[in-house]
Amino acid sequence: MEQTQTTDSPTPTKKDRKIQINCKPTLIWLNTDPNHLNIQATMEFTQDDGVGVTDPPMGGVISALGKIDISKMPKDDKYTDNIDITIKLDDSNMKNADGTKLTGKARWAYDGEGSYPLPGGGGVPVGFGWFCAPNPAAPSGYDPVPPIAIPGMTFTRKSDNVLEIDDNTILGTPEYGYCIAFALDGYGGYYISYDPLITSKGTRQA
């Protein structure tokens, strides 16, 4: 009698989801005195939906102001609920005060570089990016400082123009804020931070 042997099919390996955000600052020159520089910036955020860049494709997760709305993450059993969020710095809009090509290089700040100003004076050393605690009483709904740790979340500076948030939290994780900051090497490492943006893992769509 002929015998056959059956084996269980291997469980498919799931991939982490990937989202790439492009961040394009525009400098606002309030004072060009080299001894009292005052430079601010507006930020424009776009989601890169190129093949294999944001994976799987998921439109509408990123707003123009940088809000990351993970509640819009579609259900897809081929992927884990972990998300690798890449933030790329696009310096193409950054110019000198006279409109010429930016002197030197713009880059994400280094770890520990720069500080976030406090209302009463002084500042809290921060760096390229950090997470912020919710505070419904604050105008933004979040306290920019002090930076907080979130279990399952890491913030990493990968290169001069790439930051990565690795989100390994569970679904339904409460909202939090995040800040990012870049520096202008051509102006003595002038440090510019962007106020907290709201993100939530929320509940993915069916």
127-144 pLDDT, tens digit each: 999 998 888 888 777 888
**What pLDDT band is residue 23 in, cutting at 50, 70 and 90?**
very high
pTM value is: 0.86
- Cα–Cα distance, 97 to 29 (Å, whole number): 6
Question: Is 90 exceeded by the pLDDT of residue 65?
Answer: no
Which of the four pLDDT bands, split at 50, 70 and 90, describes residue 10?
A: low
Beta strands 176-184; 106-108: pairing state: antiparallel
Residue 186 — φ and ψ, nearest 5°?
-70, -10
Whether 162 has a pLDDT exceeding 60, the answer reads yes
pLDDT at residue 64 above 90? no
Amino acid residing at 49: D
Res 102: pLDDT = 96
Tokens 């102006």: give the residue. 187
Higher pLDDT, 39 or 80: 39
